Amino acid sequence: MGLTISEIRDNTTRARHLYQRTKQQHFAVGAFNIDNQETLIAIVGAAQKLRSPVLIEVSDGEVKAMGLENIRDMVDNYKKEYGVEVYLNLDHSPSVDDCKRAIDAGYEFIHIDISQANHAATEEEIISKTLEVVNYAKFTGALVESEPHYFGGSSNVHTENIDYDEIKKTFSTPEGAKSFVEATGIDTFAAAIGNLHGKYPVPKELDLELLERIRGSIDCGISLHGGSGTPSHFFEDAAKIGVSKININSDMRYVFRKTLEKVLAEHPDEYAVVKLMPEVYGAVQAVVEEKIQAFGSAGKAIV
């Protein structure tokens, strides 16, 4: 069942209040990807246990697999059942039209990422299309996120080491962040400071001094994508500096698959999948709980 415009606006108002709280109380809210119901159960279970606000997010591929409206309904159902503060984020959407559909469906957070589909997109094109989404989102009050260039990596488990010489070429700058935010009016700037999509064999390193300078140059929210495989102390410091949102995907996918492989091996004669899954989403929930603690969002929910 779809939400009314009044319900959508009430939700986006609450989402904006959450962002204000992250800044005032120096915590970050976790944005966790789902591509199945078991992962959603794990996230809301962690949110309920630790009384933490969370964002459920879905990428373009995850939307295609599960359905834009279906995801909205599932999140709302579990929000009510578990009594948690939870919002829905469209993650790395490559098109303006898809963003508009998510806004119409009541997604509180929208990430327009033109460079995701076209790595060679010009900053002028990115600004123009981001502005279109920002203006469209004013009807519901949805918060819009973007960045001025392609963000590297992929939400998978990588075997290669991180080439920081190459990654640093795509780092955000305080001047670039300020210019982009002023040109677009976005609510969230996706900063690149060493964070990288995916899970790598070596820990990621964040340039917190650069983050401090970016924080000083803009007033809007700051997000960190590619949070998987990052030592927790970076998150703790980033939240204190003023990051409002941190994205996690690969760490959950990794433990989901490894635990499922273990359960399947231990129960070769069990074909009722529902009986195999509790251990799997229990393992995923443990990952989410660890992130919530690192982000400082435990006990910050308002239901």
Indicate the burial class of 165 (C-beta count within 10 angstroms; 0-12, 13-18, 19 or more): exposed
- Cα–Cα distances (Å) from 187 to 29, 36, 113, 217, in that order, read 15, 28, 14, 14
Rounded to 5 degrees, φ, ψ at 133 are -70, -40
> What is the amino acid identity at position 171?
F
Does 98 participate in catalysis according to the annotation?
A: no
Query: Which one is catalytic: 35, 76, 91, 104?
Result: 91
Cβ–Cβ < 8 Å for 291, 250:
no
H or E segment and range at residue 134: helix 123-137
Overall residue count recorded for the chain in this entry: 303
The beta-strand segments (E) located in the chain are 29-33, 54-58, 86-93, 109-112, 143-146, 153-157, 188-191, 197-199, 221-224, 245-248
Measured CA to CA, the distance from residue 62 to residue 168 in angstroms comes to: 29
Query: Between β-strands 153-157 and 245-248, what pairing exists: parallel, antiparallel or unpaired?
Result: unpaired
Tell me the catalytic residues. 91
